[in-house]
Every structure is written in C-alpha cells, then in structure tokens.
Amino acid sequence: AGNRAKLLTSKLLAFSRKQISDLKPCLINSLLLRDQAMLEKTLTAKIQFTLNMQEDLWFSLIDEEMLADSILNICINAMHAMPAGGKLEISTKNIYLDGDALENRNITKGDYVKLTIKDNGSGIESSVLEQVFEPFFSTKCESGTGLGMSQVYGFIKQSKGSIRLESELGQGTQIRSEERRVGKE
C-alpha cells in the first residue's frame, strides 16, 4: 500500500507540473525496437504483437522515456481489453498535415511522425470515450488509478503533439498520436 501510494503521489506531482524534462530528438522506431522484447513479455503470449514501422522515419523532439512509458501504459490497457488474447499492432509513419486534417487537433500544419497503437480488444463504450483522458477516470473500477491515460494526454499535448482515440464496442481501440518533425518547428 505504501509503494502504491508513493507511485500515485509521484504521478500526481508529475501530472500537476505539466512540464517535460528531457526534450531531445528521438527516433521512435529505435525506441520501439529497444523496448520490443519488454513489450512482448508484458503482453504475454496470448497477445500477437506486431511492429509496422516506416523505414525512413523522421526524428521527433520528445522526451523519449516519457514516450516509452506512454506506449507501455497504452499497451497494458490494450492487454486488459483482450483477456482471452488478441492482436496489438504499433505502427509509425511520416505524414504532412494541413487543412481539414488539422481539425480538432490544436496543432499547426507541417511534417509529423504518426504513431498508431491498435488492438482488437473489447473496445470502449461511446458514452465514456470523452472521459478516457480525464484525470482519475478509469474503466478498470478499483484496479486503476485513472491517471495513466491523462498522463499520456498531458505529455503529448506538452510535446506540442496531437492524440486521438477511436473505439467501438467489440471492435477494439486505436490511439493515434502525431509528433512534430525535428527541425520543422
């Protein structure tokens, strides 16, 4: 209980600071390859895990360890949505956003690295989709703190990126994030 309280306190403090400590050029593909074995073990053999990475991916200016924590958090949530097993894919892609593609994203036109995490789990009810990124909201009842996805959201927004969640009951969930290409601010 003490360790859980300590972890919760540190998450609350990190959430309230709203600052990123270590922005550096990051090649997301390298981070995914570095953490691939850990993600596979975390997801267990029940989950078919695949990486679909664009070969010439651009660098992003982001806190690499906070991104790694965010990816792990999303993957663990996906695993909980697939208790009998399923599929999880992480993909990366270089994209250019302008015009209608910027709607509801609060970012400017330009070059971005798109990171997508997609599962075929149970999905999320449409009535709670708007709450997923809110602090202390959890779909896991007593077993979740409700801070994981709010931290992911805050981190991506502080990095001047965009994050979107799409889900349908019985159809799985897809989380997409776009991070600004280094040198294209």
The dihedrals phi and psi of 173, each to the nearest 5 degrees, come to: -135, 145
Q: Which two tokens stand for residue 184?
A: 């294209």
* Angstrom distance (rounded) from CA 159 to CA 84: 35
The whole-number pLDDT of residue 91 equals 98
Interhelix angle 28-43/64-80, rounded to 10 degrees, is: 30
In this predicted model, what pLDDT tens digit does every residue of 12-26 receive, in sequence order? Answer: 555 555 554 577 899
Taking the model in full, what pTM does it have?
A: 0.83
How many residues belong to the chain?
185
In this predicted model, what pLDDT tens digit does every residue of 102-154 receive, in sequence order? Answer: 877 888 899 999 999 999 999 888 887 777 777 665 665 555 555 578 788 88
